[in-house]
Structure 1
């Protein structure tokens, strides 16, 4: 993500604006760019994390157990290895997700912030493999992927690449 269109003062103002509710501003491109940069940075950090630490042992929040239990109670049959965007974005899906998400208001900081979520857990963040979701949706799905072993492939491939580099170097 390039921030070349923003000077330091503009970037700081846009970053400060992120603490305001979305209704406080319209479609300000500087704020949208700041949101996009923050979401992209979060995605990179998360992918690096699951590439370097066995995801089965990760805790993403202080309330991972609560998120996971409520997620699997509410979305028992949701296929999380390869997400269907309709399972997140369709009107029936939104009706189911809304109460789940609101249940974490005051429990998970910034629960409704925009976050990038991978559709196919075996792949990285690419334009084709990424969907915009709320932070609590991201946490719910990624905690489940970690606990159920779906993200282990990312970690295994990263370890394999390191082993190959060491043996060829």
Structure 2
């Protein structure tokens, strides 16, 4: 059976179906938190490998990229996206602006509210010190701006795609 790290393909499939259920069913279940973290890390790793492989200006992250970017820059015209300060991003003042921004994509962007990792500094890889947990729509908004504004252009020269291995012989 295919396995990624210590998690089998079957466990990933079960986890994926569980994560699609309403959050209020779970309370503070640590196994669900682990599945969310695993899914967020896998998304980050795949995205970074894509950034290392292709011209970021050519990337399409969703079918709604143009709308997301236009709305983001209308709402956050002065927000610098090269280096994101987590404390500023999650301040009470910013939450009041981000919340309605995010909610307008409910029903438009699939998984718009899923927890997703965002690199604080667009010139660096994901790491414990360079990752912020945000909603998926915030990730799309910031990364679309970085890609379209040329801020992710140096990634391909700085980093090589990481090899992701799947051991198909482990059960």
Q: Same fold (TM over 0.5)?
A: yes
Higher relative contact order (CA 8 A, sep 6+): 2
Alpha carbon RMSD of aligned pairs, Å?
A: 1.9
In terms of fraction of residues, the more helix-rich structure is 1
Distance 1:63 1:11 in 2: 27
Cα deviation for residue 147 of structure 1 reads: 0.1
**1:1-169 pair list within 5 angstroms:** 4=6, 13-158=14-159
Helix, strand or coil for the counterpart of 2:133? Answer: strand
Report the 3-state secondary structure (helix = DSSP H, G, I; strand = E; otherwise coil) of the residue aligned with 2:154.
Answer: helix
Distance 1:13 1:56, change over 3 A: closer
Deviations, residues 124-167 of structure 1 (Å, cap 9, x unaligned):
000000000000000000000000000001023247xxxxxxxx
Give the number of aligned pairs: 157
- Secondary structure of the residue aligned to 2:111 is coil
Q: For residues 108 and 8 of structure 1, what CA distance do their matches in structure 2 show?
A: 26
1:21 CA displacement: 1.4
Asked if the contact 1:3–1:33 (Cα under 8 Å) also holds between the matched residues in 2, the reply is no
Q: How far apart are the structure 2 equivalents of 1:50 and 1:155?
A: 7
Unaligned runs of at least 5 residues, structure 2: 161-171
Q: Secondary structure at the match of 1:83?
A: coil
What is the distance in 2 between the residues matched to 1:69 and 1:19? Answer: 29
| Structure 1: stretches of 5+ with no match in the other structure | 160-169
**Matches of 1:82 and 1:11 in 2, distance apart?**
32
